[in-house]
């Protein structure tokens, strides 16, 4: 209805009715992002590029629940981690079960592998996944309460070549979307033969320091986390702390050396960071993080590692695994920080503009044919007039506009406007699809 029409047809009684109160509108929950066009197109393109790289390396997709038994994360990720102790979205369902929105993907994948007996098939079981994860963190730029990851897990084989493949795959994922302003940091967290002794050594060292109460408590529960403390005074105090890399068992040291030699052979650059600490408890041996220089405090764009005891911890066989999680939200921020774009820069290739009822009927048909020919196409709706409709073509980022009015209908032609070259030609209606296909090829 136009404004004029509403003026003439609105019943008089409306004027004396009290103005209707506007309903409250809503915002997304705190720390939770919406992806809307055009950023959402980049999001999908990045996610698909990552998935393609994983598929090319033989990873099969798994689609898993976003909530699981709370116990799975408590046991899998570790009670002493911030993720489990402070950040989980845990609630009781109507049946009285404690469930938790998944804070990460590895524990759920492992649960599914055990449940479906994938560990009894060909090994390693190579699986990829993507979707939202939930952590009640303090929101800030690059740190969200619903975060999006793309991840892979390769389960069942303890082979340094597999560690190198997984790390190289993560690197390829980032490179394939055009990122290069990041570094790969690598370390080994040792195995069950050397880690306990090292942990005790580190703990003794830390408890001899004048730490504040909270940090002292952490040194008791999870001493490695203290090495990750960003406060300068703590950093200074722990500068001489014993390092895991100096206390590796012969087997863990050989594993680490072999991973490194494979990465060298693959041409994947890395930096050994003996103080690298991950926020999840299940890691053993190889551990890594991709750190981007343009993201400020939340600089980890992806990370992962080997987790040799996890499957047994979750009631399965005693098999090892390695994987990574890449942050999709942060990958987008990294692209923006590097001033790069990825994925389609337009919504459609072709945009139809029809003037008049008959022309519109013809255009509906024509646009349908263009889509069937494999081109992306949209058209103007709502009788906006030529100028408004052409603006729509521009906004959609179309390469070609198809204009159809009475004159063209009479001649059986369509005006094909090349919006980039600012040229136009009349093309017979029957030939339009073919002409567009040729030009877009």
Residue ranges at the known binding site for L-histidine: 104-106, 135, 149, 153, 278, 282-283
Considering only 76, 78, 108, 305, the residue that binds ligand HAM (CB under 6 A) is 305
- Total residues contacting ligand HAM by CB under 6 A comes to 26
Is 279 an interacting residue with respect to ligand HAM (CB under 6 A)?
yes
Out of 68, 158, 308, 329, the residue judged to bind ligand HAM by CB under 6 A: 329
CA distance 243 to 274: 7
| Nearest distance from C-beta of residue 66 to ligand HAM, angstroms | 14
Q: How far is residue 304's CA from residue 404's CA, in Å, rounded to a whole number?
A: 56
Nearest to 108 by CA among 159, 151, 172, 143: 151
Q: Helix, strand, coil % (nearest 5) of the chain?
A: 40, 20, 35
| Smallest distance from ligand HAM to CB 149, Å | 5
- Spatial strand order of the sheet with 423-428 comes to 377-379, 350-354, 400-404, 413-418, 423-428
Binds ligand HAM (CB under 6 A): choice among 190, 304, 316, 352:
304
119: DSSP letter? G
- The correct pick among 108, 300, 352, 392 for binding ligand HAM (CB under 6 A) is 300
Q: With beta carbons less than 8 A apart as the criterion, state whether 169 and 49 touch.
A: no
Site string for ligand HAM, 155-194 (x = CB under 6 A): ----------------------------------------
Nearer of residues 223 and 321 to ligand HAM, judged by Cβ: 321
- Looking at the Cβ atoms of 105 and 392, the one nearer to ligand HAM is 105
Residue listed under structure tokens 């609630």 = 91
Which one of residues 108, 190, 223, 302 is an interface residue with ligand HAM (CB under 6 A)? 302
Residue at token pair 């179309």? 398
The stretch near ligand HAM (CB under 6 A) out of 11-19, 189-197, 260-268, 303-311 is 303-311
For ligand HAM, which residue of 112, 268, 276, 301 counts as binding (CB under 6 A)?
301
Token pair of 358 as six digits: 């008959």
d(CA 4, CA 77): 64
Of 427, 419, 441, 422, which Cα lies nearest the Cα of 351? Answer: 419
Q: Does 78 bind ligand HAM (CB under 6 A)?
A: no
* Site membership for ligand HAM, residue 223 (CB under 6 A): no
- What part of residues 102-161 is at the interface with ligand HAM (CB under 6 A)? 104-106, 135, 137, 142-144, 147, 149, 151, 153
Is 327 a binder of ligand HAM (CB under 6 A)?
yes
The answer to whether the CB of 367 falls within 8 A of the CB of 377 is: yes
- Locate all alpha helices (DSSP H) within 189-303, ordered by sequence: 195-207, 213-221, 223-226, 232-237, 250-266
Return residues touching ligand HAM (CB under 6 A): 104-106, 135, 137, 142-144, 147, 149, 151, 153, 279-280, 300-305, 323-325, 327, 329-330
């Amino acid at each position: 209805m136009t404004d004029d029409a509403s003026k003439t047809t609105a019943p008089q009684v409306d004027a004396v009715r009290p103005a209707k109160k506007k309903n409250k509108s809503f915002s997304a929950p705190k720390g939770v992002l919406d992806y809307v066009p055009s950023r959402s197109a980049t999001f999908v393109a990045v996610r698909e590029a990552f998935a393609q790289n994983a598929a090319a390396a033989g990873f099969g997709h798994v689609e898993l629940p976003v909530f699981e038994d709370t116990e799975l994360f408590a046991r899998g990720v570790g009670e002493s981690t911030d993720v489990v102790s402070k950040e989980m979205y845990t609630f009781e369902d109507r049946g009285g079960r404690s469930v938790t929105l998944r804070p990460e993907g590895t524990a759920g994948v492992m649960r599914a592998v055990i449940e479906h007996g994938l560990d009894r098939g060909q090994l390693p079981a190579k699986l990829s996944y993507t979707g939202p994860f939930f952590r009640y963190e303090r929101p800030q730029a690059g740190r969200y309460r619903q975060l999006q990851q793309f991840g892979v897990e390769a389960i069942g084989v303890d082979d340094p070549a597999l560690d190198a493949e997984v790390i190289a795959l993560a690197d390829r994922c980032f490179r394939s979307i055009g990122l290069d302003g990041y570094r790969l940091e690598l370390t080994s967290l040792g195995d069950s033969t050397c880690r306990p002794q090292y942990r005790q050594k580190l703990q003794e060292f830390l408890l001899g320091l004048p730490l504040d109460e909270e940090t002292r408590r952490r040194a008791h529960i999870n001493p490695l986390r203290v090495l990750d403390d960003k406060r300068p005074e703590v950093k200074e105090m722990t500068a001489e702390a014993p390092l895991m890399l100096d206390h590796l068992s012969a087997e863990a040291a050989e594993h680490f050396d072999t991973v490194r030699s494979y990465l060298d052979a693959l041409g994947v650059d890395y930096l050994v960071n003996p103080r690298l600490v991950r926020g999840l408890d299940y890691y053993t041996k190889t551990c890594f993080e991709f750190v981007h220089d343009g993201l400020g405090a939340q600089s980890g764009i992806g990370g992962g590692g080997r987790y040799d005891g996890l499957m047994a911890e979750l009631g399965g066989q005693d098999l090892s695994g390695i994987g990574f999680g890449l942050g999709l939200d942060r990958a987008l921020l990294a692209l923006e920080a590097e001033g790069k774009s990825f994925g389609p820069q337009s919504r459609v290739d072709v945009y139809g503009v029809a003037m008049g009822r008959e022309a519109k009927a013809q255009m509906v048909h024509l646009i349908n044919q263009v889509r069937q020919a494999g081109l992306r196409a949209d058209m103007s709706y709502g009788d906006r007039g030529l100028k408004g409709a052409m603006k729509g073509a521009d906004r959609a980022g179309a390469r070609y506009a198809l204009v159809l009015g009475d004159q063209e209908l009479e001649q059986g032609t369509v005006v094909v406007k090349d919006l980039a070259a600012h040229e136009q030609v009349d093309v017979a209606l029957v030939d339009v699809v073919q002409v567009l296909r040729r030009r877009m090829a």
